[in-house]
Amino acid sequence: MTFAYVDMHGTASRRRGEPHRHVHLDAHWYLLCWDLDRAGWRVFRTDRITDLTRTGRHHAPRPLPADTALAYLRSGLS
């Protein structure tokens, strides 16, 4: 998938990713995905995502760097 994203500082970017899971924490939804351009796991707030396009590409699941998606999200927010 591809999408436009605006980070917490207001910087806009265009991203390509392999989605893994949506996670809800502290009144926000987040998308956990493998960022193809940065070759790593990233978390994106869904309310900052626009212009989402499905590419139709299939991908094999990647192992998470934490026990769960929520654990990964919490480690990045602390």
- Those residues with Cβ within 8 angstroms of residue 59's Cβ, 6 or more apart along the chain or in another chain: 18, 34
Whether pTM > 0.75 for this model: the answer is yes
pLDDT digits (tens, 9 = 90+) for 29-49: 999 999 999 999 999 999 999
Report the percentage of the chain scoring pLDDT > 70.
99
Quote the CA–CA distance of 5 and 65 in Å, as a whole number: 23
Mean pLDDT computed over every residue of the chain? 92
Q: What is the pLDDT of residue 37?
A: 94
